[in-house]
Amino acid sequence: MSGLPGLAAAAIRRRVAAHEVSCEEVTREQLARIEALEPAIDAFLLVAPERALVSAKRLDAALAGGAPAPALAGVPLAVKDVLHVEGLPTTCGSRILDGYHPPFAATAVARLEAAGAIVLGKTNMDEFAMGSSTERSAFRPTRNPWDRSRVPGGSSGGSAAAVAARLAPLALGTDTGGSIRQPAAFCGVVGLKPTWGRVSRYGLVAFASSLDQAGPLGRTVEDVALACSALFGRDPLDATSADEPLPDFAPALAGEAAGLRVGVPWGFLANGVEVETMGRFREALHALESAGASLVEVPLTHLPHAIAAYYLVATAEASSNLARYDGVRYGRRAPGAHDLPALYGRTRDLGFGPEVKRRIILGTFALSSGYYDAYYLRAQKVRTLIRRDFEAAFEACDVIATPTTPTPAFRLGEKTDDPLQMYLADIFTVPANLAGLPALSLPCGLAGGLPVGLQLTARAFDESMLLRAGAAYQRVTRHHELTPPF
Amino acid sequence: MPRVTEETVDHVARLARLSLTEEERRVFARQLEEILAWAESLQALDTSGVPPMSHPREAETLRDDEPRAGVDRATALAGAPEARDGLFRVPRVIGG
């Protein structure tokens, strides 16, 4: 082994572009590491070595013929199994999609592949991205590489664990209420949820359409920026994808913390953050301050209501989006039903796991006659209040900092019987989804041997500000270089 | 705060086309009540004059409405649990 699997995406691309190593070599070494270590982590639902090698050889042939190396040439990529990859099945971590082969590819995946990324396989996730631990996968839990008795977070737990364990330098996740940032924090990697509309949702299986957004996980801010350059942009196949100018991230990556105004909602952080996590957060703020940033307190008064608003909006949208799984057009069908209502009911009872059913019930209730105004409509209005809070806060600062999560990774099984406790732990991540803002989670040290995440949130379409702050932070700290004891 | 009974869950499950077991009905009734009790804090907020937000972007950018090829019939049917004569097959809906 030449240590290729330990390299960052940018370093792999540089070596491939310089013809020091072939895409095939990189792919083979990465696959060998997966074969050796995957049984201990269970990050993947499917590893696709043949497809990966075909892609790698095709790119090698192009490069040998003198083609310029694209931005992610030869970079191994793990894809959350909620995004369609050409030629591979999609399960969404659910039994209801048994045997489903999507007839089209997700734009996000297609763009990374066009930029030279080599897809290694599909990563594990909570069923239909509903969960914060990856224990809600219908297949198996994924383990946290830092402590295998703990969860990797979720719902993009497989993607985060794969990056942390060096099974892939780069991964795609999706984030509806923190599903990129929370597992990134729990596994000690970088995760970015872009602005809603930045990345096409075409070929991303819908959970809550007004909140869902795909984004990258990597070990450095530079790698995440590389992925963003390929991912971002208007897609005619997604009417909600934004026609916004695409920034060049190079100046952001070279940028300084000097002059950066960091807002901190101290009032909101007063309760419920575990002591050591709070310690790492304060150290992170201090590091930014030492590098020239200034701190300012911001109020964000409605954030305590974000979880309630989120779980009503998200489940309402989910109950509608998941109506399509009816055993008629694709996936699994329950046997023996003699009429259509029984076919739907049994197929859905058999195919969905408990968390998905619970959320469909809650969402259908919130939308049902007599309760719509008090729950769904009110939650949508609170969403406006939260968005206004952010707009007011960004008058006084450039980014808003919080811990990504109130605690480090919890134990497998610790919260599975108490859904409300699981929901409450999403308190710091759901506001960015409700407001549609970009947010970045960065490793900021360990608490009790487990990674802690620093979350930065910025104005809509100002990912450059996040990458600037993140790159500046990673220049003055070494937390992102820590490796799991594994 | 509405009282969530197993009948409430039954009604909602019918709307959502979910057949639940008795155990699921009992557990979901309890959990739904807990979650809604906790979401009650929203009711205390003054939202008069606040417009609802259905998604984060004000303007949608629509593509030109030009015909283009979609998924062909054979591909669309390839994943069906049961298909016959180029159609999705389901139990009898009318009559019988």
Q: Which residues of A touch B49 (CB under 8 A)?
A: none
Question: What domains are defined for chain A?
Answer: 4-256 (3.90.1300.10)
Q: Which of A198, A207, A381 to mutate to test the interface with B (most CBs of B within 10 A)?
A: A381
A68 φ/ψ angles, rounded to the nearest 5 degrees:
-70, 145
Residue A290 buriedness (CB in 10 A; 0-12 / 13-18 / 19+) = exposed
Mark whether A319 is an active-site residue.
no
Per the listing, tokens 């043949």 go with A50
Q: Which of B34, B60, B61 to mutate to test the interface with A (most CBs of A within 10 A)?
A: B61
| pLDDT value for B96 | 55
Q: Which residues of chain B have pLDDT under 50?
A: none
Q: How far apart are CA A222 and CA A179, in angstroms?
A: 21
Instruction: Kindly report whether the global pTM for this prediction surpasses the value 0.90.
Output: yes
Cβ–Cβ gap B17/A341 under 8 Å: yes
3-state secondary structure of A451: strand
Nearest CA of chain B to the CA of A119: how many Å? 23
Neighbours of A407 (CB within 10 A): 18
Residue A172 buriedness (CB in 10 A; 0-12 / 13-18 / 19+) = buried
Give the contacts of A198 (CB within 8 A, at least 6 positions apart): A213, A231, A232, A241, A242, A244, A438, A461, A463
Q: For residue A230, give the DSSP letter.
A: H
Cβ–Cβ gap B51/A381 under 8 Å: yes
Neighbours of B56 (CB within 10 A): 21
Prediction ipTM score: 0.94
Task: State which fold the B6-44 domain adopts.
Answer: Histone, subunit A (1.10.20)
Neighbours of B3 (CB within 10 A): 8
Q: B56-70: per-residue pLDDT in tens? A: 987 666 778 889 888
Q: How far apart are CA A342 and CA A180, in angstroms?
A: 37
Classify each residue of A293-329 as buried b or exposed e, where b means 16 or more C-beta atoms within 10 Å of its C-beta: bebeebebebbebbbbbbbbbbbbbbbbbbeebbbbb
Q: How far apart are CA A410 and CA A327, in angstroms?
A: 36
| pLDDT value for A366 | 95
Q: Which residues of A touch B74 (CB under 8 A)?
A: none
Q: Which residues of B touch A233 (CB under 8 A)?
A: none
H/E element holding A171?
strand A170-174
Q: How far apart are CA A100 and CA A98, in angstroms?
A: 6
Nearest CA of chain A to the CA of B96: how many Å? 10
Per-position pLDDT tens, chain A of length 486: 468 889 999 999 999 999 999 999 999 999 999 999 999 999 999 999 999 999 999 999 999 999 999 999 999 999 999 999 999 999 999 999 999 999 999 999 999 999 999 999 999 999 999 999 999 999 999 999 999 999 999 999 999 999 999 999 999 999 999 999 999 999 999 999 999 999 999 999 999 999 999 999 999 999 999 999 999 999 989 989 999 999 999 999 998 999 999 999 999 998 889 999 999 999 999 999 999 999 999 999 999 999 999 999 999 999 999 999 999 999 999 999 999 999 999 999 999 999 999 999 999 999 999 999 999 999 999 999 999 999 999 999 999 999 999 999 999 999 888 888 889 899 999 999 999 999 999 999 999 999 999 999 999 999 999 999 999 999 999 999 999 987
Mark whether A241 is an active-site residue.
no
| pLDDT value for A66 | 96
List helix spans (H) across A236-305: 250-254, 266-269, 275-290
Which is the catalytic residue, given A22, A55, A80, A94?
A: A80
Measured between CA atoms, the residue of chain A closest to residue B65 is: A236
Secondary structure percentages of chain A, helix, strand, coil, to 5: 45, 15, 45
Which of A234, A311, A361 minimises the CB distance to B61? A234
The neighbouring-strand residues paired with A193 are A439
| pLDDT value for A483 | 93
Measured between CA atoms, the residue of chain B closest to residue A354 is: B24
First vs last C-alpha separation in chain A: 17
Measured between CA atoms, the residue of chain B closest to residue A308 is: B39
Q: Which residues of B touch A100 (CB under 8 A)?
A: 79
Domain ranges, ordered by start, for chain B? 6-44
CA dihedral A267, A271, A273, A274 (to 10 degrees): 140
Q: Are A59 and A116 in contact (CB under 8 A)?
A: yes
| pLDDT value for A179 | 98
Q: Which residues of A touch B57 (CB under 8 A)?
A: 196-197, 240, 242, 436
Mark whether A155 is an active-site residue.
yes
Q: Does a cis peptide bond (omega within 30 degrees of 0) precede residue A210?
A: no
Which is the catalytic residue, given A137, A155, A156, A241?
A: A155
| pLDDT value for A285 | 98
Cβ–Cβ gap B57/A197 under 8 Å: yes
Q: Which residues of A touch B43 (CB under 8 A)?
A: 374, 378
Cβ–Cβ gap B53/A381 under 8 Å: yes
A209: left (phi over 0), alpha (psi -120 to 50) or beta: alpha
Nearest CA of chain B to the CA of A14: how many Å? 37
H/E element holding A47?
strand A44-47
| Mean pLDDT, rounded, of chain B | 90
